[in-house]
Amino acid sequence: MAASDPRPRRALRLACGTALALAAGYGLGVPLPFLAALLTANLLALRSQALPLKAALALPLLVMLTTSLGLLLIPMLQHTPLSGLLLIALCLFHCFRFTLRGGNALLGTFVVIGLTMITSAGTASFDLALTVIEALAKALLLAVLAAILAHALFPEPADASAPPAPAQESPLDANWIALRATLVVLPALLLALIDPSRYLALILKSVALGQQVCSHETRNAGRELVGSTLLGGGLALLLWSLLTLQPSLLMYCLWLLLFSLLLARRLFRLAPSRASPGFWLNTLATLILLLGQSVEDSQTGKDVYTAFAVRLALFIGVALYAWLAVHLIDRWRGRRQTRPQSAQD
């Protein structure tokens, strides 16, 4: 008997879970409600199996504990900024390396998000850093609950084969890839240290780019990094235009459900695509970030379109920088590898 194709259920699971997390975030009034949808999308994209009950309960506590360590770096950033920044860069490097060497990708992603968000917020106010920890913990708890419900609605077929384990990089390759991912995240972190409230979404975007940098080749960097950012921005603008026809939380969730399903079909290879799964996941992350920030701007009375244009320009700038960083790091690496061969000849 042929095994059932699990990809349609995975696409439906990702789309429905993301929409449910968005509805719960706004319905419960948690801080940064769109963050729950972003974490849910990552959780369901990176893991096809349902989380065991113990892991589901322990993950938010573990991430909250590890990210709270970022509070210890705040005094160092305030009194010795250079040393503090170098220590954060070292922590980011080891988080990316941990994932590349076969560590839990979800844990690595959440720790990177928490570390960058908390340290940048803490430079402005210690209370703001505690608020960010609270927002991250609540968003992650909602993400775990939304993922459990999505798995209950669309369970994995019993005869589905387990997805192949991600390839484990060699120690040398992991060091180089982790270095370029760290360099991608650092500029956004520097901007956020100046004004955390303004550049919060940029941090999340740079983290998504850092994860994407870990999974593609240099020759595809432009299409993967810049292309996904442009596509995500275009979809966010389209969804916002559709949402203005009938603005409500229900329509917000339904439109996100539809757009997430269209992207998930390509992420799970149900529709033909030359782009990698990371391209479509980063497109969805860009869509959620830009749209969520636009909704927040509309509630505070800001000019939504001006703020959207500025934010999208920053996103594109970060993506272009990431492309350049990947190219230069890999070119430098290639030169270092050819020097010993030249010396032997």
The values of phi and psi at residue 181, to 5°, are -65, -40
DSSP string, 292-341: HHHHHHHHHT--HHHHHHHHHHHHHHHHHHHHHHHHHHHHHHHHHHHHHH
Give the tens place of pLDDT for each residue, 108-148: 777 888 788 888 888 878 888 888 888 888 888 899 899 99
Q: Which pLDDT band, with edges at 50, 70 and 90, does 220 fall under?
A: low
pLDDT over 60 (residue 218): no
Check if the beta carbon of residue 290 is closer than 8 Å to that of residue 236.
yes
pLDDT attached to residue 275: 82
Pick from 246, 92, 59: nearest CA to 183: 92
Pick from 8, 15, 218, 181: nearest CA to 105: 181
Give the tens place of pLDDT for each residue, 14-42: 999 999 999 999 999 888 899 999 999 98
Q: What tokens appear for 135 in the block?
A: 């927002």
Task: Average the pLDDT over 62-76 and give the result.
Answer: 76
pLDDT attached to residue 11: 94
pLDDT over 50 (residue 1): no
What end-to-end distance do the CA atoms of the chain give, in Å?
A: 58
Q: What is the pTM of this model?
A: 0.86
Average pLDDT, the chain: 83
- Helix H segments across the chain? 7-28, 34-46, 53-68, 74-79, 81-100, 105-124, 126-153, 171-194, 200-213, 221, 228-243, 249-267, 277-300, 304-344
Give the tens place of pLDDT for each residue, 221-269: 667 788 889 999 999 999 999 998 988 999 999 999 999 999 999 999 8
Pick from 228, 226, 245, 242: nearest CA to 291: 242
